[in-house]
Structure 1
Amino acid sequence: MAARIFAGQLLLVVLITAAVSTVLFLDARQQSYDRTAQRMLSVSSAIADNPFVLKAVQSPSPTTALQPYAEAVRRDAPVDFITIMAPDGTRFTHPDPQQIGRKYIGSIDSALRGQPATEEFAGALGPSIRAIVPVKDAAGTVKALVAAGVTVTNVSVAANARLPFVILTGAGLLVLSSTASWLLSKYLRRVTLGWGPEQLSSIFVSYDSLLHSVREGLLMVDNQGRLVLYNDHAARLLGLPLRDPGSPPMEVASLPLPQDLRQLLLSGRPARDEPYATEDRILVVSQDPALRASRPGPRAAKPATAEQRLGTVAILRDQTEIQSLAGEVESMRTLAGALRAQTHEHSNRLHTIVSLIELGRGDEALRFAARDLQQSQQLTDEVVAAVDEPFISALLVGKAAQANELGINLTITAGSTGPAGTAAPATGKGLDPADLVTIVGNLLDNAFDAVSAPAAGAPASSPGPAPEKEVSVDFLSTPDRLWIEVRDNGPGLSGEALEKAFELGYSTKPAGTQGRGIGLALVRQAVSRLHGEITVAHDDGTVFSVGLPLRGHPAPAPEGGQA
């Protein structure tokens, strides 16, 4: 590209220089002709106004008196010829004596009318620039004519004397313009890395297609903290407008991003798979410096001696669906564990029933089986009657089995108040079941972990019976909202833990615990998607309270302490 632009500009400069030089030369020649004509007119007028000339032309022998005079003036002027003639054009004087007495070659009509005139005409001495002035008496009658002129050859010599100036001016213009073109081509070679226009077009199309099609978010931030490049997937993940190639870079500090993610992008530090939470997503971010390649381009004169840092490149991966699937897998593991426990328990009970029958105690075996069936059905009936939401009911049945296996006393209460205060099962109709499962499941898992973990500072084993593990979940449905409260009697949260409970990556679990620092962040995002609010408090354990507006009832403005 640089070579083509330089060649085109050089050709243009040469043409402009030639045109300017030609115009300057023609103007100089025309000015020389005009000045010569004006000088000839002055010489002719001075001779015509001389009384000696009028007296001589009226004498019997004009040539004898005028020829020496004319030659003296011609030498002093200097001019190439001075011709004094009669009104009919008969010459009285001429530099060539043989032309005396012959007719003047040229136009004399204007002079005969009493008007001076100038012209370029080919006379006896060749082409010349001349002036013709009438010689008048006191009455204004034309008694003679005076012509003075310079040959065109001499005028051209005078004009050509300015030719070096024109040539130098043109050469200077050519040198300056060529230097400017060379500097511009050098700049273009540097900024385009030596690539040609076809290559640049191909690279742009390829990279633009890649940015649109890649399924990971890509951001590039320059050294001034400006977002200069991002693809469509990054725009969707961060809630940014789709990129317009012609729009100016955006300041990262002014983008609607989480504070910790904004600080990472502005810091420029390398990062590897660091989790960050937005309003509705969990992103894993990797960041590396963006460096100019050590080879500037295919046509560069020499490779760069050091890599130049252009900014940073960040890769965003959406982990929300993965975390959601991980939660579902964890729920399936919980259910599978509960089923295994129930299978083991039912196997023991079945062996008991078979043994009672073999011992001939059939009535007792029947009563034992009926009581076991009644207890299992009672738990299911209570949950289904309490919560009119099949997904939540199924989750609570599995969590109840899990709690029984872990030795946790899980209490489930639910209800609904209608307009008249009548009681009915709690319902979450109008709410996304997946978000409800995320909220309830993670809060219960968090509560189970809290009551199962030993208290801080407690010895590994202590005398006496272990304290009861209590977890309760309460649902209350009103005409416009669904309230969920999960309470446990674990060690509880206080101080910094209360403030950072919903931050992604923060956890009170031991380091290395699988899934630490993610569950409550998922809960906060699900609550946010449902336009609800969540609070956490310390009350002989930990209490999480969630309020979700039902469809058609917007949530009130959040108060302090809500997330």
Structure 2
Amino acid sequence: MREWSLARQLLVLQVVIVAVIVGGGSILAYLDAARNTEDTARREVVAVAKSVADAPTLVNALATPNPSTTLQPFAEAVRHDTGVDFITIMKTDGTRYTHPNPQEIGRQFLGNTRDALEGRVLTETFVGTLGPSVRAVVPVFSADRVVAMVAVGITVAAIADELSSRLVAVVLVAAAALGVGLIGTYFVSARVRRQTRRMGPAALGRMIDYHESILHAVHEGLLLLDRNGVVTLCNDAGRELLGVAEDVEGKPLSSLGLPSSLVDSLVSGGPVRDEIHVTDRSVLVVNKSEVPAHGAVVTFRDHTDLQALTGELDSVKGFAESLRSQAHEAANRLHTVVSLIELDRTGEAVRFATEELQIAQQLTDRVVGSVREPVLAALLLGKMAEASERGVELVITPDTHIEETALPGRDLVTILGNLIDNAFDAAIEGDEAPKVHVTVRSADPGVLIRVADTGPGLDEDASRAAFTRGWSTKDSSRGLGLALVGQAVRRYGGTIELGQEIGAVFTVRLPAGGQPEPAPHPRDGR
């Protein structure tokens, strides 16, 4: 048997609830109307009986030899005028003076009269000659003593007739309420049916379980934002990549301590395609899609390892380019030597070759002797060749000296390589002869890296923004290098200072025993 959809189950449940409520309300209304009708009848018969008992005609007629002659027409007139079913005037022993059926006059009254004989008003439901009736028996006083009694009643049949007319109104109201309830229930059910795609509870439960499993299993971060920039969902990978706490749902994105550039990009309108953002721990590739009238879906991938590999590849390319430049220079020098020999100027050829070889060897010996970290030494040699090709004088300061360090060479290359590249660009833009000074030395404790250029320097706003993603003195497509420098330094607990002694002076201090915070990796699924 096909499972009922959630909407159909809700429809049936709501119909039952509405029917029970309307039916129960109708029964209560009917019972209340019955009670009110009976109470009204009791009050009415008491009022009529007291009025008859207080009438002067009644007391005067009792003094005559045949009271029935006067009282019967009087009682019938009052009965017709008030709408009650009977008015019986009787002696204190219960003998009737009046009755709707004249044949009952002179016979004994059927009912209780003790309270009336004692001067009190009695109300009761009793079966008399006209059938069950609600009646009142009141005393008639003369000279402070009971001389007669008056009984006034309304038959139960008459009360039932009046109640029937009220029952019709109750039924009509109940039917109208039931109809309105069913119509409202139908529209609510139709809305639920559209929103649940006609799926049953079991199917919805399975879908939610699948979605939960997917959210926990995927390596990509997923973030759902409402229209006000409040986080409505963040999966496990998203929390790890962003470095946020478990309970981020319901909090504004701006309160999570994320980089302002990332927050501004996500809360602004419009889609985002493959934007790279640098946090304190990761390099993220971010995508965002708008969900009309709801908010946005944000996905992000960990780009840290790929960016590091890209940096290493750039370093290798730089080394290759440096080797190419050196090979080109060596070829030029060799051609010069060969030409001098062909011109029979052998002595000059020997001196020229020796001098060039000594200069190159001295430079290599100095770098290798001062920088015992092989990766940094290779980087500096490559950058010197690149500087020569770009027309920049690269100066390795005399105090440069560093032994092998426990810090990973990849991160040292990231920091120093990007600082030198940035300094090259700045120095070329300056008005003076382009020059870059580099210092790499062991400090107490740790490692100190200083790179200074003769460029135009940085103003206060640029200094604050220098280590954010996208900042560059050139076009907006650049600007990731210094952001990666800042990320690497923060990861090791180091510091960066920006001075203006020459042009721009970047000073990085890394602790000797600094250990990087583990880069987040999305869980394999739980």
Question: After TM superposition, is the score higher than 0.5?
Answer: yes
Q: Which amino acid aligns with 2:95?
A: T
Q: Deviations over 1:46-88 (max 9, x none)?
A: 3333454445446554445544443344334433222222322
- Report matched runs for 1:94-105 at 5 Å: 94-105=99-110
| Deviation, structure 1 residue 114 | 1.5
Partner SS state of residue 181, structure 2 = helix
Q: Deviations over 1:192-244 (max 9, x none)?
A: 45544443333333223322322112233444544444333233333433355
Contact 1:79/1:150 (8 A) holds in 2? yes
Q: Which amino acid aligns with 1:327?
A: G
Aligned counterparts of 1:309 and 1:62: Cα–Cα separation in 2: 91
Q: Deviations over 1:230-266 (max 9, x none)?
A: 333233333433355xx4362x566544344334323
Aligned counterparts of 2:363 and 2:419: Cα–Cα separation in 1: 24
Q: Which residue of 2 aligns with 1:110?
A: 115
| Deviation, structure 1 residue 485 | 2.5
Aligned counterparts of 2:185 and 2:322: Cα–Cα separation in 1: 81
Aligned counterparts of 1:241 and 1:139: Cα–Cα separation in 2: 93
| Deviation, structure 1 residue 525 | 1.9
Structure 1 stretches lacking a partner, 5+ long: 291-307, 346-371, 417-424, 457-467, 554-563
- Report matched runs for 1:182-197 at 5 Å: 182-197=186-201
Q: Deviations over 1:256-308 (max 9, x none)?
A: 44344334323433443232223343222233343xxxxxxxxxxxxxxxxx5
Q: Which residue of 1 aligns with 2:495?
A: 532
Aligned counterparts of 2:277 and 2:44: Cα–Cα separation in 1: 92
Distance 1:206 1:40, change over 3 A: same
Aligned counterparts of 2:363 and 2:120: Cα–Cα separation in 1: 136
Contact 1:36/1:129 (8 A) holds in 2? yes
Aligned counterparts of 1:510 and 1:174: Cα–Cα separation in 2: 70
| Deviation, structure 1 residue 117 | 1.0
Matched, 1:326 2:310: yes
**1:475 alignment partner, one of 417, 440, 447:** 440
Q: Deviations over 1:294-327 (max 9, x none)?
A: xxxxxxxxxxxxxx56444332122221122333
Aligned counterparts of 1:402 and 1:428: Cα–Cα separation in 2: 19
Q: Which residue of 2 aligns with 1:545?
A: 506
- Report matched runs for 1:9-408 at 5 Å: 9-54=14-59, 56-57=61-62, 60-140=65-145, 142-243=146-247, 247-248=249-250, 250=252, 252=253, 256-290=257-291, 310-329=294-313, 386=370, 393-399=373-379, 402=382
Aligned counterparts of 2:293 and 2:116: Cα–Cα separation in 1: 85
| Deviation, structure 1 residue 507 | 6.9
Distance 1:521 1:47, change over 3 A: closer
Aligned counterparts of 2:37 and 2:117: Cα–Cα separation in 1: 28
Q: Which amino acid aligns with 1:550?
A: P
Contact 1:118/1:130 (8 A) holds in 2? yes
Partner SS state of residue 95, structure 2 = coil
Q: Deviations over 1:178-203 (max 9, x none)?
A: 34434433444455455444433333
Partner SS state of residue 242, structure 1 = coil
Aligned counterparts of 1:49 and 1:445: Cα–Cα separation in 2: 121
Partner SS state of residue 76, structure 2 = helix
| Deviation, structure 1 residue 397 | 4.0
Distance 1:405 1:430, change over 3 A: closer
Aligned residue pair count: 469
Q: Which residue of 1 aligns with 2:350?
A: none
Matched, 1:521 2:483: yes
Aligned counterparts of 1:471 and 1:35: Cα–Cα separation in 2: 109
Partner SS state of residue 161, structure 1 = helix
Distance 1:321 1:139, change over 3 A: closer
Partner SS state of residue 222, structure 2 = strand
Aligned counterparts of 2:140 and 2:419: Cα–Cα separation in 1: 126
| Deviation, structure 1 residue 509 | 9.6
Flag the structure with more relative contact order, 1 or 2, with Cα contacts below 8 A and sequence separation at least 6: 2
Distance 1:414 1:79, change over 3 A: same
Q: Deviations over 1:336-391 (max 9, x none)?
A: 9999999xx9xxxxxxxxxxxxxxxxxxxxxxxxxx9xx999977x768745xxxx
Distance 1:75 1:286, change over 3 A: closer
Contact 2:445/2:511 (8 A) holds in 1? yes
Instruction: Out of 110-119 and 16-25, give the one that drifted further.
Output: 16-25
Distance 1:158 1:400, change over 3 A: closer
Partner SS state of residue 264, structure 1 = helix
Q: Which residue of 1 aligns with 2:340?
A: none
Q: Which residue of 2 aligns with 1:294?
A: none
Contact 1:407/1:469 (8 A) holds in 2? no
| Deviation, structure 1 residue 107 | 0.9
Contact 2:224/2:296 (8 A) holds in 1? yes
Q: Which amino acid aligns with 1:136?
A: F
Q: Which amino acid aligns with 1:206?
A: Y
Structure 2 stretches lacking a partner, 5+ long: 1-5, 331-356, 515-526
Structural RMSD (CA): 4.5
Q: Which residue of 2 aligns with 1:350?
A: none
Aligned counterparts of 1:469 and 1:49: Cα–Cα separation in 2: 129
Contact 1:414/1:426 (8 A) holds in 2? no
Q: Deviations over 1:455-483 (max 9, x none)?
A: 79xxxxxxxxxxx9987642344435642
Distance 1:328 1:30, change over 3 A: same
User: TM-score, with normalisation over the residues of structure 1?
Assistant: 0.68
Contact 2:437/2:451 (8 A) holds in 1? yes
Aligned counterparts of 2:434 and 2:46: Cα–Cα separation in 1: 128
